[in-house]
Amino acid sequence: MNVIKTTLDKCKTLSDGNLFINGHQELKNNNYFKGFTYNSTENCLTLTNSEYYETLGDDYVAIDSNKKYQFSITVKTNNSDAVYYAGIREFDVDKRWITPVSYRYYPNTLTTLKQDLKPGDTKIYVDNLSNWRDSNSWGWRNVIFWNYKDSTGYEYPPETYSQNTIFDAWDYNTEALDKINNIIKLKSSWSGETIPIGTKISEDHAANWSNYGILPAIKITDSYQTYSVVITGTDLKSTDSIDMFRPASKYVKFIFLSNYYGTAKPTTIYVKDITMREVK
């Protein structure tokens, strides 16, 4: 295997093609994965906990969502009863976290502001609420405004990506969605900047807060196994796909959720060979 040597961080070595620095623990420490402890005996990263625990990689890894990548990890645990998640968290050009509320709109709910939404307002006036729903599920009553510009000045088209949102916008089962007069009655007054009449908006709902394509809520064993997923393209249909990047993705971080449901026993995971490589 060819090894690319760099002068970054005291001449760390990068395995050829792997975008995760120290993904093979080639630095013999936990650099770039500070939520883990380095295990020199097995040359791996470990994490011990007795309840649910989430850890995020330290490095923003640049990606091109038009390209195809193979993402893989090798992992084992001493607690095969627990449930584990692992994958990537995506960020935009400004390294802002792309949550599901940033893009995951309900289809056929696109409408238009009929009045400016000003600071202090408690109602949103729109053209049409006929397809909006008052869900009793936590995190599913959200509003997304399609007027977001990033630091480069680029404004994202409707039904792509936005950081201008209201999470948990109204109280469930309170007639907050007035479909006769097309008014959304907010549970808290609007505190952002004025959003002008004519702005497109949609109803929006949360899902997985990160892309858990490697370990999507599964149990793992006490012997090392390698898990892999191929990620390519951009999810523009709001499907929360684990094999596509979220809209506006420019960077990713590795994320691991250990002992998700919190089994009451000391749980140690062993992770090594965290890799993301471009493939043809």
Amino acid at 29: N
Residue 149, pLDDT > 80, answer yes
Residue 1, pLDDT > 50, answer no
Residues 52-64: tens digit of each pLDDT = 888 999 999 999 9
**2: pLDDT confidence band, cut at 50, 70 and 90?**
very low
One DSSP character per residue, 181-236 reads: TTEEE-SS---S--B-TT-EEEEE----SSEEEEEEEE---SS-EEEEEEEESB--
* Bridging pattern class, strands 111-112 and 200-204: antiparallel
**156: pLDDT confidence band, cut at 50, 70 and 90?**
very high
Residues 63-116: tens digit of each pLDDT = 999 999 999 999 999 999 889 999 999 999 999 999 999 999 999 999 999 999
Rounded percentage of the chain residues whose pLDDT exceeds 70: 94
Q: What is the pLDDT of residue 166?
A: 95
What is the Rg, in whole angstroms, of the alpha carbon atoms belonging to the chain? 22
If you average pLDDT over every residue of the chain, what do you get?
Answer: 90
State how far the Cα of 259 lies from the Cα of 5, in Å rounded to an integer: 36
Provide the 10 A C-beta neighbour count for residue 271. 25
Q: What is the pLDDT of residue 14?
A: 53
**185: pLDDT confidence band, cut at 50, 70 and 90?**
very high
17, HSE (Cβ side, Cα atoms, 13 Å): 14
Query: Could you tell me which of 254, 232, 243 has the C-alpha nearest to residue 87?
Result: 254
Instruction: Report, as an integer, the average pLDDT of 174-189.
Output: 95
Residues 208-253: tens digit of each pLDDT = 888 988 999 999 999 999 999 999 888 777 677 788 899 999 999 9
Residues 5-40: tens digit of each pLDDT = 333 333 344 546 899 999 999 999 999 999 999 999
Torsion of CA 226, 232, 56, 264, to 10 degrees: -50
Q: Under a CB-based contact definition with an 8 Å cutoff, are residues 232 and 69 in contact?
A: yes
